[in-house]
Every structure is written in structure tokens, then in C-alpha cells.
């Protein structure tokens, strides 16, 4: 009974032989259709759009944070959505900002950015208003930074600091009967133990938050934001440093990080072209032929990359900067195909017609390229299903590009091969053939270049390699039990180190990994980690279905909800909470009327002098047609936590679970919590399980692909063991190479799974396709002769392709570089050393227990293709015979040199 791999590979070889004949007979469409498709893909630029919002890209699509973000947006979207931007100010010596000149400088900056920093607004705020400041564009609560001038006014006068009506306490400052939360504005705070007054502030944060209102206002706000980026970038002050943080700033820096790959791409292309040219020269090739094959060999992957980008843009898929690593991968994969095709063409019988040689080349190279491309496509296709958009997008672009490259290399490049071979034949007719024959007469040993290929010899199988050759001696060395025992000990050490690395890999979502080392966001991240998150971090709570607050029992229940958040671990308590209800209940006693709760609330909210008006932004009211308040539709409040020395992602994850737990207890109020970094925490919570499930499914898929392409259970087992060993090593050594588990690492893990098959499946197949009458070391020597050199070429070209990226300082890029280096080095070591030793051991065990995966086959009938035909053109078991052919004259087949 034939194995699935034998049957399927038979039909695959038949298909590719037929394809080779079609390419030879009609090369023009196979050449020009890929070219036209690549040019047509440029239409995708018309629908080009970017997606660099890291809060969206790097959290699972169905994570709670997306729902929470939607609730927060819904609360503000009745006013056009929310615009936010933060400016952090520190002293150049990172010391106290409460020194007179420093605090005055902060105050002046706050006033300048609020009122005097303008951009053209084309009459958006009135016909005569051509330049608008933030205060002109702001609506709703626009006095977020008013605590800065108030604090400065009081602090500069020593007597005012101790006035009973002015209490400069932390985190809440008290001015008369009103409270101002300063915890989100001040960080690096020190309190005078004698007076309980703030005596030191190292960081001041200015907030610019408003409603976007209309499309026109939103566009002007975006222009104001962009102008502020430029202003901050060129800011020069004798005492102060200033940085800016916003969604647009983060997106810009993430995009800049990805774009740093672009300048290195040309160097990668040049390096690979030179490598193809240098390693595929042969004695009767003219110089121009080598140049054409090298340049057009890499043209296929380049066109595949452009086609994938263009058509995915055309279908509406967004561009993300992480996808700019994909072209480097496609160049590596595409060059592997070039080596296999050229290698297959080189081994064909030069005495046959060009038509037969092209058909034979496709028959031999097609299945091999199919294995490589199919496993890579399947690996990335698994990644498309991951819930994290950044991973899914990267895998989608890479999967499509690999598939397109597979088609282009077997059509476009083979058509190039046809044209080039025809051109060489024309050159030979005008004298080139005579020069080659003269050279051959002087150098008779070069007869190898024109002798019949092994495929053209009669008989079911060629004899094994020369036992005195280097490869044969190497295989006998591996067969020695002492050698295999030593290798087992080395493997045990390698597996132990790799397992330790896997166990100690830290799950961490660090936004600085997505930006360059010199990005200003690194300084902001340091300030947030060192001061803001450790000393005070706000969580917003939205009550979307509040009860009737005219009833006292409902008021008490709402205040109890607020108290629950204030008493959680790390909470800064009541003084850090900003909620309108407490302030209203405290100040409503000052109003003397009979209007009831709603009437008092309306009067209070309209009183700008009494302070009630500043709470309007936290309430959404039910009103009648006359504007009279009928009740509260929904409201929000904010409270703070201080993590101190425990400020890390693990603590944030615990806090977020506690906040969500309290919200769930009050689900009858439809309570939702929102914290701006919840997206990353959800990613941390899911990345481990997502990575594990994705890796398992990818590994299973790889095994199924091997099962369908390779005959024999032993081949599947040995390939699987080697593939698992490679990937455990890649994962573990990445951890020891200071790489954390994050979405970028997950992308590279999927990549390594696909690439690892390239180093295992071919060796296993070429070993098990040989007759069992040979010894195990003879079968292995033949396999290494067949695929060893193309595998080394492929690995070398891949390393050359990513070598220029080693000069890039981006963490994201370096994770890809490290992964490719590891999978290439470990893949080669497994393919040339460890897997051969495993195959020898497996073969010995099979013989010992009387079983083997492949039995010697008889020659097939005329017109059929042997099912034992190889993936690579270096070896073949059966002559390919045409049904109407005459007897072929073959040269005596000698044992190879090994």
C-alpha cells in the first residue's frame, strides 16, 4: 500500500512536469502576466491607509479593554470624540521645579501653550479668526491646567502657603471650599512633614483635552498637535526640558521605527544578488547569463512583495510598520527557490532537448519548492487567526507574499530560464560551442558538465556514493555509537538550556520596544515609570445606568461604589477622587430654594463662580425641551492609585482585575472602568495562552504537511523531533538573548516554525526515498549529497539578506534578526549533524525490528513517473521514459565522489 506522501507527490511531479512543458512552449504569458500584475498592484496605493495605533494593534480584538474604550468614546462622542495630549516638564537637572525661576517658567509655558500657541484655522472659530490657540478650539472643560497658575500664585508667597483657606496638600489641593486634584499634574512630590505642604515637585504634566466637536475643528486640532510636536522638538530653555505624548505622537514614532528598515533593503538585495551570482556560476555559462539569472532571480521575490502589498491595500487592509520586515523574509524565501531551480537545471541531461530539460527541472524543483512554500504559508496562515491585530496583519501580508512568490518563481523565473537557455543556444551556434569543445579537449575532467544526469541512466536506482568520499566518511563517523552518544549528551545540554530559557522568558508589553532608541518617547516612558505610575495613576469609572439620585438610599449606594474603589490596594484614597456628587452634596447647602435635587443640581452646574460649572464634563443629563434637568442619564468619576516600588506590569494587571471585579458587582448600574494602559495589560494576560495554542496548531499543521509530502512514519517522527528541537532552541535562546514574550516575539516564533521545516523535511525525504538494500550511512550520504549544498546556499543567502539589519538599533528589527540567525544556525546544525544522527539511529532501529518505510521499487511502466522520484534534481531512482522513445544510450554510472 502506498503512503499518502508517495501518491500525492506523484501527482505533484506530474503537474509540475506538465507546467514545465507549458512554460517552455508559451514563455511570454508566464513572463509578462506576473510583471503586469505587479504593475497593476500599484493601484492599491489609491486606497493606502496606515494603522499605527498601538492600543488597537497590540491587544486582542475581543479584549475587555476594547469594550471599555468604546464606552469611554461613547460618553464623549456626543461632542465629536475626545482629543488628548500631555506635555511633561522637568528641570534639566531633574531636581525640584518649585524653585522660583523654574516654577515661573512652568507657569509661563502653561499659559503660552493654552492661549498663545496658534495655528491657522481659516475662520473655523468665526470669520475674523484666522489664527486659533488651544483655548479658542477648546470646548467643555478647558481649564485642566488651571491648578498650575493657582499653585504658583500661592506658593510664591510664603505666608499664603500656611493660610487656612489655601492648603497646598497632596494629592488634593484645597482652595476655600473647592478641591483640586493635583496628583495627575505633579510627580516626584515630597511633603514637608511639619506643615503637610508640598515642598518638592520633579515633574509637572500639562493636559490638553477637549471635544473634537466637528470635522473642521478636529482637523485644526490635528494641525495644532503637529505644530506642537515641531515646537517641542526644537524647544530650548535654560532651565527646563519638555516632551509631548499623544496617540498621534506614538503612532508617528512607531511608523518612524518601521521605516528605518527601508534604507537597508537595497543593501540586502545587492548582497543576495552578488551571492546568487557567485555561488551559481558554472564553467560553460557566459558572464552575462550569470548576471541575468542573479538579477531576475531576485526580481520574482521583489515583484511578489509589491503585488502582495498593492492588492492587500486595494482590498482595504491597512498598512502597519511591522510589515516592513516582511520583504526581507520574502527575499530569503525566494532566493531559496532560485537555488533549487538552478540546481535542478544544472543536473539535467545536456544531450536532451531544452523542452525536456525544462520539464524535468520543474518536475524536480516544483515539489521541493512546494514543501517550503506550503509550510511557510500554513505557518503564517495560522497566525492570521490570532486575535491580536498586529500579529494577524503581519501574518496576512507575509502569507500572501509567500504564496505569490511561490507562483512567480515557478512561472516568471522559469520563463526567464527558458529565454536565457534559448539565448545561449543561439550564441553556441555562432561559435561559443566550438570554444567550449576546445576547452573540454584541453580539460577532459570537465566531462561532468555535459554527461547525462543521473535521472537519464537506466535502472531503478543509482549506486550509492563513493565510500571513500568526504560525505560518506562523515556519515560513517556519525554512525559510530560513540559519536552519537556524544551528540546525545550535547543535545541534552542544549535542550536543558533551551527549556530554562523558555521557562524564564518574561511576558512583557513595553511600548518602548516599538520605537527607536533615540525617540523622545523613551524619556517620557522613563518619567511615567519612575514617577507618574508609581505615585499616582488615574482610573476612570463610567456609571452608564445610574439610579434615581433623588432617593437617599440610591445616593448612599453610589457613594458606597465610589468608596469601594477608594479602599482597594494601592488606592490613594478619598483625596484622589474627582466626583461631582460629593462636591454637589457639600455645596448644595449653600443654595436656598425649593427646587429639589434636580433643580439644585441645575443651579449648581450653571454657577461658574461657585465651582459647579467645572463638573459639567463628567455628567450627561436628561433634559426636557426647555432645558430643565429631569435626571442624570450617566456620569463618570476618577480615582487614583499609587503603586510605589511595586510599579510594574504585574501590579497593573492585578489592579485592573480588581477594578473590573468591583465594576461587575455593580452591574445593575452598568459600571465600566477605563484605564489608558488596559490594552497592554489585556495583551499580557492573553499572550502566553495565545502563543502556546498558535505554536501547537502550527506544529500540527507542519506535521500534516510533511505527512502528505514525505513517505514513511519514521520520516515524520524524525522531522517532527528535529523541528521541535529547533523551535525550543530558538525560543529559549531568544529569552537568554534578552528578548521578552510580546506580539513581536510571537510573530517571529511563527516565522521560525515555518523556516525550521526547510531544514528537516528535505533531509528526511531524501534519506527515506533511497532503497532499503543500502546501508543507513549510504542512504544518508546520498541524501546529504542531494540537498546539503542547496540547503547551505539557502541558509547563507538568508543570513546575508538580514545582515544589513544588524546595523539597525530598533528592538523590533533586532528581534527578527535574532530569530532568523537562530533558526538558520540551529536549522543547519540539525540538518547536517543532529538530524542525520537521528536518521541513522531510526534506520538501525527499523532494521533491528524488521520494518522500514520504503521498499525497493520496480521501474514504472512506460510513460509513468516513478513514485520514488526525488524532490531535488541531484538524485533520482528511475529513468523518465517517453512511451514512443527509442532506447537511450547511457554512460556507465560510476560511484560518486561523495
Q: For the segment 492-511, what is each residue's pLDDT rounded down to a tens digit?
A: 999 999 999 988 888 776 66
Nearest CA to 114 out of 87, 89, 74, 75 is that of: 87
159-167: long-range contacts, CB 8 A cutoff, minimum separation 24? 161/195, 161/197, 162/195, 162/197, 167/197
Helix, strand, or coil (residue 396) = helix
- Gap between the Cα atoms of 755 and 332, Å rounded: 10
Q: Given pLDDT bands bounded at 50, 70 and 90, which one contains residue 436?
A: low
**Average pLDDT value for the chain:** 79
Is the model's pLDDT at 443 over the cut of 60? no
Give backbone dihedrals phi and psi of 177, rounded to 5 degrees, phi first. -95, 5
Residue 320: other Cβ atoms inside 10 A? 21
What 3-state DSSP class applies to 185?
coil
Tell me what percent of the residues of the chain surpass a pLDDT of 90.
21
Q: What is the mean pLDDT of residues 144-159?
A: 83
More confidently predicted of 886 and 639:
639
Mean pLDDT, rounded, for 463-490: 82
Question: Has residue 77 got a pLDDT over 80?
Answer: no
User: For residue 713, what pLDDT is reported?
Assistant: 66
Asked whether residue 262 carries a pLDDT value surpassing 90, the answer given is no
d(CA 483, CA 834): 11
Which tens digit of pLDDT belongs to each residue from 722-769?
888 888 899 899 988 888 887 788 788 777 777 777 777 777 767 776
* pLDDT value of residue 397: 94
- Tens of pLDDT, residue by residue over 10-64, are 788 889 999 999 999 999 999 999 999 999 999 999 999 888 777 778 777 788 8
Q: Which residue did the predictor score with more confidence, 242 or 10?
A: 242
DSSP 8-state symbol, 78: T
Q: Say yes or no to pLDDT of 453 above 50.
A: no
Q: How crowded is residue 50: how many other Cβ atoms within 10 Å of its Cβ?
A: 13
Quote the CA–CA distance of 642 and 533 in Å, as a whole number.
7
- Cis before 179? omega within 30: no
Instruction: Provide the pairing of β-strand 537-543 with 671-674.
Output: antiparallel
pLDDT(855) > 70: no
Residue with cell 541575468: 292
For residues 18 and 362, give the distance between their C-alpha atoms in angstroms, rounded to a whole number.
9
Rg (C-alpha) for the chain, rounded Å, is 35
Grade residue 337 by pLDDT with cuts at 50, 70 and 90. Answer: confident
Return d(Cα 482, Cα 489) in angstroms, integer.
11
Task: List, as one string, the DSSP characters of 681-717.
Answer: HHHHHHHHHHHHHHHHHHHHHHHHHHHHHS-SHHHHH
Q: Is the pLDDT of residue 783 over 70?
A: yes
Which of 215-224, 488-497, 519-528, 869-878 shows the lowest mean pLDDT across its residues? 869-878
Cell numbers given for 758? 526547510
**What pLDDT, on a 0 to 100 scale, did the predictor assign at position 125?**
67
- CA–CA dist 716, 722 (Å, integer): 10
What is the average per-residue pLDDT within 95-102?
A: 91
Cα 89 to Cα 105, 106, 647, 671, 737, distances in angstroms: 10, 7, 21, 34, 35
Mean pLDDT of 866-891: 37
Domain coordinates in residue numbering, the chain: 11-63+286-431, 81-252, 520-594+603-675
pLDDT of residue 203: 92
End-to-end CA distance of the chain: 33
> Which grid cell is 120?
491657522
Residue 404: pLDDT over 90? yes
The confidence band for 880, taking pLDDT boundaries of 50, 70 and 90, is very low
Does the structure show a pLDDT above 70 at 88?
A: yes
What's the pLDDT at 441? 56
Angle between the N-to-C axes of helices 761-768 and 678-709, in degrees from 0 to 180, rounded to the nearest 10: 10
Q: Which residues does 41 contact at the CB level (< 8 Å), separation at least 6?
A: 306, 307, 308, 309, 310, 311, 314
Average the pLDDT over 647-655 and give the result: 80
CA 716/CA 723 separation, integer angstroms: 10
- Which band of pLDDT confidence, cut at 50, 70 and 90, is reported for residue 282? low
Per-residue pLDDT band for 446 (boundaries 50, 70, 90) equals very low
| DSSP character at residue 465 | P
Q: Nearest-CA neighbor of 329 among 858, 756, 817?
A: 817
Contact present, 431 and 293 (Cβ < 8 Å): no
For the chain, percent of residues with pLDDT exceeding 70: 83
Non-local (6+) Cβ contacts of 793 within 8 A are: 279, 339
Contact 816, 805 (CB under 8 A): yes
Mean pLDDT of 299-325: 92
Give the residue ranges of DSSP H helices in 198-285.
Answer: 215-233, 247-259, 262-279
Spatial CA neighbour of 825 closest among 737, 728, 730: 730
Rounded to whole angstroms, how far apart are CA atoms 58 and 708?
35
Q: What is the pLDDT of residue 141?
A: 65
Rounded to whole angstroms, the Cα distance separating 727 from 696 reads 11
- Residue 396 is predicted with a pLDDT of 93
Query: Of residues 674 and 879, which shows the higher confidence score?
Result: 674
Give the per-residue pLDDT at 33: 95
Q: In this predicted model, which residue has the larger pLDDT, 94 or 284?
A: 94
Do the Cβ atoms of 186 and 531 come closer than 8 Å? no
Inter-residue contact 388 to 679 (CB < 8 Å): no
Whether residue 452 is predicted with pLDDT greater than 60 in this model: the reply is no
Q: Which residues are bridge partners to 132 per DSSP?
A: 119
E strand or H helix at 150, and its extent?
helix 147-155
What's residue 873's pLDDT?
36
What pLDDT band is residue 302 in, cutting at 50, 70 and 90?
very high
Structure confidence at residue 845 (pLDDT): 67
What pLDDT score does 449 carry? 35
CA atoms within 13 A on the CB side of 25: 8
CATH classification of 11-63+286-431 is 3.40.50.2300, yes or no?
no
pLDDT score of 827 more than 80: yes
CA 369/CA 376 separation, integer angstroms = 11
- Contact criterion met (CB below 8 Å) for 850 and 346: no
Classify 877 as helix, strand or coil: coil
Residue 78 has pLDDT above 60, yes or no: no
Using the predicted structure, report yes or no on whether residue 286 has a pLDDT greater than 70: no
Q: Which distant-in-sequence residues (6+ apart) come within 8 Å of 524 by Cβ?
A: 88, 243, 244, 245
What phi and psi values does residue 208 have, to the nearest 5 degrees? Answer: -120, 100
Handedness of CA 242, 246, 248, 249 (dihedral sign): positive
Three-state DSSP state, 187: strand
* Model pLDDT, residue 461: 52
CA-nearest of 805, 733, 825 to 258 is 805
- At residue 634, the pLDDT reads 92
For residue 361, what are the contacts with CB-CB under 8 A and spacing of at least 6? Answer: 20, 341, 344, 345, 348, 414, 417, 873
Largest Cα span, the chain = 119
Amino acid at each position: 500500500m502506498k503512503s499518502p506522501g508517495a501518491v500525492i507527490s506523484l501527482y505533484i511531479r506530474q503537474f509540475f512536469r506538465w507546467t514545465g512543458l507549458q512554460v517552455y512552449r508559451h514563455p511570454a504569458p508566464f513572463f509578462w502576466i506576473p510583471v503586469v500584475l505587479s504593475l497593476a498592484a500599484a493601484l492599491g496605493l489609491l486606497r493606502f491607509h496606515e494603522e499605527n495605533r498601538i492600543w488597537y494593534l497590540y491587544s486582542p480584538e475581543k479584549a475587555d479593554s476594547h469594550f471599555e474604550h468604546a464606552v469611554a468614546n461613547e460618553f464623549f462622542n456626543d461632542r465629536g470624540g475626545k482629543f488628548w495630549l500631555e506635555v511633561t516638564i522637568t528641570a534639566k537637572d531633574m531636581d525640584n521645579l518649585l524653585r522660583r525661576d523654574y516654577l515661573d517658567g512652568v507657569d509661563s509655558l502653561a499659559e503660552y501653550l493654552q492661549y498663545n500657541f496658534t495655528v491657522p484655522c481659516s475662520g473655523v472659530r468665526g470669520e475674523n479668526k484666522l489664527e486659533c490657540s488651544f483655548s479658542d478650539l477648546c470646548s467643555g472643560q478647558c481649564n485642566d491646567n488651571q491648578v498650575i497658575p493657582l499653585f504658583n500664585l500661592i506658593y510664591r508667597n510664603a505666608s499664603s502657603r500656611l493660610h487656612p483657606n489655601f492648603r497646598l496638600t497632596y494629592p488634593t489641593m484645597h482652595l476655600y471650599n473647592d478641591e483640586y486634584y493635583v496628583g495627575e499634574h505633579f510627580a516626584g512630590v515630597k511633603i514637608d512633614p511639619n506643615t503637610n505642604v508640598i515642598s518638592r515637585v520633579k515633574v509637572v504634566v500639562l493636559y490638553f483635552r477637549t471635544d473634537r466637536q466637528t470635522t473642521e475643528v478636529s482637523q485644526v486640532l490635528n494641525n495644532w498637535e503637529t505644530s506642537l510636536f515641531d515646537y517641542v522638538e526644537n524647544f530650548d530653555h535654560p532651565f527646563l526640558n519638555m516632551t509631548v505624548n499623544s496617540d498621534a505622537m506614538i503612532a508617528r514614532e512607531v511608523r518612524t521605527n518601521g521605516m528605518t528598515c527601508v534604507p537597508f533593503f537595497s543593501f540586502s538585495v545587492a548582497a543576495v544578488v552578488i551571492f546568487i551570482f557567485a555561488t551559481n556560476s558554472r564553467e560553460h555559462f557566459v558572464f552575462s547569463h550569470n548576471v541575468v539569472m542573479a538579477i531576475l532571480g531576485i526580481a520574482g521575490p521583489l515583484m511578489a512583495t509589491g503585488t502582495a502589498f498593492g492588492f492587500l491595500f486595494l482590498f482595504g487592509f491597512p498598512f502597519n510598520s511591522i510589515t516592513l520586515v516582511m520583504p526581507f523574509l520574502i527575499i530569503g524565501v525566494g532566493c531559496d527557490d532560485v537555488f533549487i531551480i538552478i540546481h535542478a537545471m544544472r543536473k539535467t541531461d545536456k544531450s536532451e532537448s531544452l523542452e525536456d530539460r525544462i520539464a524535468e527541472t520543474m518536475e524536480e524543483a516544483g515539489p521541493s519548492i512546494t514543501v517550503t512554500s506550503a509550510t511557510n504559508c500554513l505557518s503564517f496562515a495560522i497566525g492570521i487567526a490570532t486575535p491580536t491585530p498586529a500579529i494577524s496583519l503581519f501574518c496576512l501580508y507575509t502569507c500572501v507574499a509567500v504564496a505569490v512568490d511561490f507562483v512567480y518563481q515557478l512561472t516568471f523565473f522559469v520563463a526567464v530560464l527558458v529565454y536565457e537557455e534559448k539565448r545561449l543556444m543561439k550564441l553556441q551556434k555562432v561559435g561559443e560551442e566550438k570554444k567550449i569543445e576546445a576547452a573540454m579537449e584541453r580539460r577532459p575532467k570537465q566531462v561532468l558538465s555535459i554527461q547525462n544526469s543521473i535521472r537519464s541512466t537506466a535502472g531503478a536506482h543509482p549506486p550509492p556514493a563513493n565510500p571513500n568520499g568526504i560525505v560518506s566518511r562523515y556519515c560513517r563517523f556519525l554512525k559510530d555509537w560513540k559519536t552519537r552518544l556524544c551528540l546525545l549528551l550535547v543535545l541534552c545540554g542544549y535542550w536543558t538550556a533551551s527549556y530554562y530559557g523558555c521557562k524564564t522568558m518574561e511576558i512583557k508589553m513595553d511600548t518602548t520596544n516599538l520605537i527607536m532608541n533615540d525617540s523622545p518617547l523613551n524619556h517620557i516612558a522613563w518619567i511615567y515609570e519612575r514617577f507618574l505610575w508609581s505615585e499616582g495613576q488615574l482610573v476612570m469609572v463610567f456609571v452608564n445606568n445610574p439610579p434615581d439620585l433623588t432617593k437617599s438610599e440610591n445616593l448612599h449606594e453610589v457613594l458606597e461604589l465610589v468608596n469601594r474603589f477608594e479602599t482597594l490596594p494601592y488606592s490613594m484614597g478619598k483625596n484622589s477622587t474627582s466626583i461631582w456628587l460629593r462636591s454637589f452634596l457639600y455645596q448644595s447647602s449653600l443654595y436656598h430654594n425649593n427646587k429639589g435635587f434636580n433643580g439644585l443640581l441645575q443651579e449648581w452646574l450653571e454657577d461658574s463662580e461657585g465651582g459647579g460649572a467645572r463638573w459639567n464634563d463628567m455628567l450627561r443629563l436628561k433634559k426636557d425641551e426647555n432645558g430643565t434637568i429631569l435626571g442624570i442619564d450617566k456620569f463618570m468619576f476618577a480615582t487614583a492609585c499609587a503603586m510605589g516600588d511595586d510599579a510594574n506590569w504585574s501590579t497593573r494587571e492585578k489592579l485592573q482585575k480588581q477594578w473590573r471585579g468591583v465594576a461587575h458587582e455593580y452591574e445593575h448600574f452598568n459600571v465600566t472602568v477605563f484605564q489608558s494602559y488596559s490594552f497592554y495589560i489585556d495583551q499580557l494576560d492573553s499572550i502566553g495562552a495565545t502563543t502556546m495554542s498558535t505554536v501547537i496548531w502550527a506544529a500540527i499543521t507542519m506535521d500534516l504537511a510533511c505527512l502528505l509530502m514525505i513517505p514513511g512514519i519514521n520520516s515524520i517522527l524524525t522531522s517532527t523531533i528535529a523541528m521541535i528541537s529547533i523551535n525550543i532552541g530558538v525560543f529559549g535562546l531568544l529569552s537568554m538573548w534578552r528578548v521578552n514574550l510580546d506580539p513581536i516575539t510571537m510573530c517571529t516564533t511563527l516565522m521560525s516554525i515555518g523556516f525550521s521545516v526547510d531544514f528537516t523535511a528535505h533531509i528526511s525525504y531524501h534519506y527515506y526515498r533511497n532503497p532499503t538494500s543500502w546501508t543507513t550511512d549510504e542512504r544518508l550520504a546520498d541524501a546529504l549529497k542531494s540537498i546539503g549544498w542547496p540547503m547551505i546556499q539557502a541558509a547563507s543567502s538568508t543570513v546575508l539578506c538580514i545582515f544589513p539589519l544588524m546595523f539597525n538599533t530598533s528592538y523590533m528589527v533586532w528581534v527578527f534578526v535574532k530569530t532568523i540567525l537562530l533558526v538558520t544556525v540551529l536549522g543547519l546544525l540539525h540538518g547536517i549533524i543532529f538530524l542525520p544522527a537521528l536518521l541513522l539511529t531510526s534506520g538501525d532501529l527499523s532494521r533491528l525490528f524488521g520494518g522500514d518505510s520504503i521498499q525497493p521499487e520496480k521501474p514504472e511502466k512506460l510513460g509513468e513517473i516513478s513514485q520514488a522520484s526525488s524532490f531535488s534534481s541531484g538524485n533520482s531512482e528511475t529513468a523518465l521514459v517517453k512511451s514512443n522513445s527509442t532506447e537511450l544510450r547511457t554512460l556507465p554510472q560510476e560511484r560518486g565522489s561523495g
